[in-house]
Structure 1
Amino acid sequence: MATYAIGDIQGCYSSFRRLLDLIEFDAAIDRLWLVGDIVNRGPQSLETLRFVKQSDDAMIMVLGNHDLHLLMVDAGIVRCGKGDTIQPILDAPDRDELLHWLRHQRLFFNEGDHALVHAGLLPEWSVPKAARLAREVEAALRSDDYSYVFSQIYGNEPNYWCDDLTDTERLRVIINAMTRMRVCSIDGRIDFTFKGNLQDIPDGFLPWFDMPDRASRDHTIICGHWSALDLYVSDTVAALDSGCVWNRQLSAMRLEDRKVFQIRCDKRIVTDSG
């Protein structure tokens, strides 16, 4: 039995299946942690979503920004963008079942010394605190009033955490940090515009995982989202988005020994980042 974490799939279903073959994944005994963004930009979002859903007992996923975007489009909050590849899901006969399942997935997961999140954790959030905050969002997304929640959570402000935040501002910061964050200022403010590599980080900002006195350092955080970072593994973080949808690689890491497995991905089909 082994547990594998896999980076952003983004609808690259054939690459995903080839990586599962490479690691000899056995759904009867192994477990899979997916860092989110299982759909969009790649050519087979529908196939990917169906496969992950039907493998639910063996796979744990957290929601990424592209997964939430799909749910927002379905709720009528936003429209499909130029580079989106989610229309086959919206047109599928089983769309309601698929999207209901997706809306009930986690935003954050932790087990033992590892925690799973799409983008990152703000510096003042310990893993237990992050788990509590994620449950607030999960409850809102699973409520009967989820369309209203979706209508309120888009936006970049506030861009910092305060325990006194309430209502939709509170949910917005939690979602933005866990699904969109890459870098923070020294005082813990998120810069949502930066998408570059480590060498290009502007003065006064740090990768979220290098923030001084980060409260989650007692766990290894498994994440994705930052494709320009590529595969990045340290003592306290494993960032696994190695740019599969950009014709680079799809990465898996076996948690028990941190061995990394990679496959070259299919022909690039997207034209802009997201």
Structure 2
Amino acid sequence: MAIYLLGDIQGCHTELCQLMKLVNFDLNTDQIWFTGDLVARGPDSLATLRLIKSLGNSAKVVLGNHDLHLLAVHAGIKKVKRNDLVDELLNSSDIDELMDWLAQYPLVEQLPNENAYMSHAGLPPEWQPEDALAQSNFVQERISGSERNHWLNSMYGNTPNSWCNAQTEEEKFRYSVNALTRMRFCFSDGSLEFTSKGSPIDNQDTNLSPWFKLSKSIGTTQWVFGHWASLNGEVDNPNIYALDTGCVWGGRLTMLRWHDKKIFSVPAQL
């Protein structure tokens, strides 16, 4: 069995199909682990979700910020973002079924029998991997439960940006969502910064560092993530795998075969 880990699709269904064909993906023996942001800015979010859902147990998914926002839009809590191409998805006959299916997924997955994990944005410096798993379970239980709308409504906002300041359940929920789906740079104390999206090379703010430069766990823990397209898959830490290579922005869709760490990619179809 091969485990493939795949960067942000964002509705780029054609490239997803091309990449699965490139690696000769076998539904009966292989798995694809998706780093989140399955939907939004690309041309076919509906076909993307239907395809991933059809993979059944051969698909593992962690939710990204765009996936969570879609759930909130479907619930009537938020409006579609200006650049999101999800009208066909929202008007589809199986939208309710697709949203219930999407809402079951966590924010963190651990690879089988390894000290290796996957989340959309990474591991916040204030946490150990076990903290990330615990808070992922906390979020998953609430988003997949009967009070989903209450929790989706409470996830918006940038505070608290430090775990030690999260006191109520809603604050812990919001911090967990932000840390695991929106984080890129952090301040020196490990607190989250939400506005900077460029590459670390271009960063001029000496108060900010990439989250993986501040994490004390990354020396002994492997982490797979997406979200940060401006990294273009390039990090200088052998335990970090950045898989968002900006397909929806004209880059490429990238997949990592876990057992031998071989990279596969296809260019965006502009």
Alignment of 1:240 with 2:243, yes or no, is yes
Long gaps (5+) in structure 1: 268-274
Partner of 1:195: 197
Counterpart residue number, 1:35? 35
The residue identity in structure 1 corresponding to 2:128 is S
Give the corresponding residue for 1:272: none
Aligned to 1:123: 125
* Seq. identity, %: 39
Q: Which residues in structure 2 correspond to 1:253-264 (within 5 Å)?
A: 253-264=256-267
Amino acid at match of 2:110: N
1:171 pairs with one of 170, 173, 176: 173
* Alignment correspondent of 1:16: 16
1:146-170 Cα deviation digits (max 9, x unpaired): 1111111100011111176221111
User: How many Å separate the matches in 2 of 1:103 and 1:187?
Assistant: 32
Equivalent in the alignment of 2:145? 143
Q: What do you get for the CA RMSD once the two structures are aligned? A: 1.2
User: Does the CA contact (< 8 Å) of 1:124 and 1:215 recur in 2?
Assistant: no
CA contact 1:127–1:216 (8 Å) conserved in 2: no
Distance in structure 2 (CA, Å) of the matches to 1:240 and 1:121: 15
Corresponding residue for 2:229?
A: 227
Contact 1:110 1:127 in 2 (8 A): no
Deviation at 1:130, TM superposition (A): 0.9
Which stretch of structure 1 is more off in the superposition, 105-114 or 175-184? 105-114
Asked whether 1:71 is paired with 2:74, we answer no
Deviation, 1:121, is 1.3
Q: Is the 8 A contact 1:63 1:118 kept in 2?
A: yes
**1:26 match:** 26
* Residue of 138, 142, 154 corresponding to 1:152: 154
Contact persistence 2:166–2:175 (CA under 8 A): no
SS across alignment from 2:11: coil
TM-score normalised to the size of structure 1?
0.94
SS of the residue corresponding to residue 264 of structure 2 reads strand
User: Quick one: structure 1 residues 217 and 72, their matched pair in 2 at CA, closer, same or farther if it must change by over 3 Å?
Assistant: farther
Separation in structure 1 between the aligned mates of residue 69 and residue 234 of structure 2, nearest angstrom: 26
* Secondary structure class of the residue paired with 2:179: helix
Deviations 1:109-163 (A, max 9, x none): 0021320100011113111221011100001101111111111110001111117
User: 2 CA distance for matches of 1:264 and 1:127?
Assistant: 33
Q: Distance in 2 between matches of 1:30 and 1:61?
A: 14
What is the CA distance between 1:31 and its match in structure 2?
1.0
Q: Does 1:251 align with 2:254?
A: yes
Q: Secondary structure at the match of 2:158?
A: coil
Which of 48-57 and 230-239 deviates more? 230-239
1:22-47 Cα deviation digits (max 9, x unpaired): 11111111111110001110000000
Query: How many Å separate the matches in 2 of 1:200 and 1:231?
Result: 15
Q: Which runs of 5+ in 2 are unaligned?
A: none
* 1:245 alignment partner AA: V
> CA–CA distance in 2 between the matches of 1:161 and 1:227?
25
Match of 1:207 in 2: 210
Partner amino acid, structure 1, of 2:255:
A
Decide whether the 8 Å contact of 1:140 with 1:149 is kept in 2. Answer: yes
Cα-to-partner distance string for 1:158-193 (whole Å, 9 max, x where unaligned): 111117622111100000000000010110111100
Contact kept in structure 2, 1:9 and 1:38, CA below 8 Å: yes
Give the match's secondary structure for 1:20: helix
Deviates more, 1:201-210 or 1:37-46: 201-210
Partner of 1:47: 47
